[in-house]
Structure 1
Amino acid sequence: MKIMIEFYRTRVKDDAHATVGRAMSDAIDRKDAIEVARSLSVTLSMPQRPDGMMITDMTGQMLYTGIVDAVGR
């Protein structure tokens, strides 16, 4: 399936999100989509390191939203 991944930074005082990167990719299922996003969070060129991500399918259905793991950083 095609997925859209949005990476963002979160402002602590009011939980506002600022998008720092977006990417489209292919994934087999939800679990694979999360792995693809975590990999891209390290390799994708972005102006800041993201602390969160949201993954949607091409219809806009949310598959995952949450904190980007710090593994590999």
Structure 2
Amino acid sequence: MFIIEFFRVRGTDEAHAILDRVEHDATDLDDAKVRALSLFETLEMPQKPDALRIMDHNGDEVFVWGPERPSASI
């Protein structure tokens, strides 16, 4: 089980505002990444997100991505 969070980033202090959170039952992180990137463009949210992050079942951040920093991963 992975949790995908979509968020905005405030430029002045890098604070994050979560726009939506989706649980995804995936077999592995690669599957969760594909789902997250697909949802980034298609999920209806109150605002367009700046980035997303994926957390594992323990709540540990395992992946971060944004169009401005596509290679940012952990």
Fold match (TM-score > 0.5): yes
Range class of TM-score, shorter chain: 0.7 to 0.9
- Cα RMSD of the aligned pairs, angstroms, is 1.5
Deviation sequence 1:24-52 (CA, Å, 0-9, x none): 11222222211110111122110011111
**Which residue matches 1:65?**
64
Larger relative strand fraction: 1
Q: What is the TM-score with the length of structure 1 in the denominator?
A: 0.81
Matched residue count: 68
**Which residue matches 1:26?**
25
Q: What is the TM-score with the length of structure 2 in the denominator?
A: 0.80
Using a 3 Å threshold, how does the CA distance of structure 1 residues 36 and 68 change in structure 2: closer, same or farther?
A: farther
Using a 3 Å threshold, how does the CA distance of structure 1 residues 3 and 68 change in structure 2: closer, same or farther?
A: farther
Structure 1 gap segments, 5+ residues each:
none
**Which residue matches 1:53?**
52
Using a 3 Å threshold, how does the CA distance of structure 1 residues 38 and 68 change in structure 2: closer, same or farther?
A: farther
Which residue type is aligned with residue 34 of structure 1?
K
* Displacement over 4 Å in runs of 4+: none
Q: Distance in 1 between matches of 2:49 and 2:67?
A: 7
Q: Distance in 1 between matches of 2:3 and 2:67?
A: 15
Structure 2 gap segments, 5+ residues each:
69-74
